[in-house]
Each structure stands twice: as structure tokens, then as C-alpha cells.
Amino acid sequence: MNRIEQRFAALKAAGQRGLVVYIGAGDPNLEATRRLALSFDAAGVDVLELGVPFSDPLADGIVNQLAAQRGLESGTTPPKVLATIVEIRKESQIPIVLYIYFNLLHRVGVERFIRDAAAAGVDGLLVLDLPPEESETYESLMASAGLSPVYLIAPTTPDARIALIAPRARGFIYYVSREGVTGMQSQVSDTIAMMTDKIRAHSPLPIAVGFGISNAEQARQVAQHAEAIVVGSAIVNRIAEHGKSADLVERVSGFVRELSEAVRSVR
């Protein structure tokens, strides 16, 4: 088992829900990314998603688009993200997933990118724009490297397509609880329980629910229906607000700790 699988197995054994946190790598710089990752580990985060900056992040709302722009402006590249993960691994074994667009893998070469990611200490890839129907070679390379291909399922995904996608995922399945792009919402979707039940009919993997979870109360509410919740934009927004502050890490990790405590309170 890789770190993702080990973490979810430990959560299941303890009867606990998990917290997946997303941030943009290199926002405001890669040293901040390293420090935030270590602070998140201490704050109770179970999986860290690092968004690799890309010029056309089509699945992202404005908050995460701006984070990608700041990452590019800080000089962040895929090799530098991997080098940062090497530094994180010197102090932490937090499971790490790269949230990435296929163009970045294609430019390097899919086989080489997967090999380099595994060597750096990455545990999984969430390739936003790679359809499962075109993923056979990618999945075999991921399996050989011991990495988890994480797939998205949305409210609009037909039943037949859920049956196709769910068995091919590894590590966990990411359920996108709302239509559209990433972003904070004032309330959570009322179809989460129904959709997670549909997914479970096709896979025993843990389900992590994201898109729109903005505070501890929403985290607690959604965690009742999933093995984990994903929070991104609400955290990225705080990084944007405090990115130039000396206490950036403390401010952001304090909010993340609130989320972790809320999720852990659900049994």
C-alpha cells in the first residue's frame, strides 16, 4: 500500500473521517508551500493535494485560477514542485496527490513524469482532463510506479459512466459535489448522500467529497456521508489574503485545524 491507502486504512480502523486539503503549489512561493505542507501534517490533514500551476486551469474557479497565476509568477514549474516534495519528505510522510492537467505530463513524457513523481515522494495523480477511456497506458504506468490514479465523479455523471470510472480509481474517489468549477459555496449540495451511495455500489474505495466546502460546519455536515472531505478554495483564499504576512502559515494552519477537528468529530 502507498501512503494514501495506508492513511485511509488507518482512518477506517479508527472509525474516523479524513481531511483532504488543496493548495496551489508555489503560491505565494515554494518555500511557503513546503512550510504549509508541514504545518498541515501537524494540524491533522490526511492527504495534501498540490495544484501544479498551469496557464489554462479550466476546472478551477477564480480563487484557484489566481493561485495558479501566482504560482507561475513565482517561477513554479513541475520539476520545482517535485523538488519541493523531496524537501517535504525529509520531515513528513503526509500523503501527497498532484492536481494537474495532462498537458504538463505530455510535455515531459507521461512515463518520465510518473517515474520522477514517484521518486520525489508523490503518492497519486489527479489528472483533471484525462478521460478514463484514454487512460490505459497511464494507469499501467501508475500501477508500476505504485501511484494512485485518482478520478473525479460529478453529479452529472451517468450511472453507466460511474460504473466505468469507479473501478479504475485507486487510493480514493473524488466526488465533485457541485456542477461547474471549484469555489466556495454558502451551502452544501443536498444530493451527496444519494451520489455517494451510487458510487459505493461500484467500488469499495473511500470517497472524498469536495467543491464548495467552505467552513467547519459544512465540513462536519458533508463528512457524515463520505470517508473524507476536500477543502480547497476556502484555504487558497486565506493564502491570497495573508500571502505577504509573516504569520501566513500560522493563520492558514489555524483554519485547517478547525476543519480537521470538525471532521474528526463525526463518527
Question: How many CA within 13 A on the CB side of residue 247?
Answer: 4
Residue found by looking up cell 461500484 in the block? 202
Whether residue 184 is predicted with pLDDT greater than 50 in this model: the reply is no
Residue found by looking up cell 508551500 in the block? 33
Query: pLDDT digit string (tens) for 132-176?
Result: 989 999 999 999 999 999 999 999 999 999 999 999 999 999 999
What is the pTM (predicted TM-score) of this model?
A: 0.94
Can you list the domains of the chain with their CATH numbers?
3-8+18-264 (3.20.20.70)
Q: Which positions are catalytic?
A: 49, 60
Q: How many CB atoms lie within 10 A of CB 133?
A: 9
Q: Per-residue pLDDT averaged across 79-94, rounded? A: 98
Whether residue 195 is predicted with pLDDT greater than 50 in this model: the reply is yes
pLDDT at 6: 98
Cα–Cα distance measured from residue 163 to residue 102, given in angstroms and rounded to the nearest whole number: 23
pLDDT at 59: 76
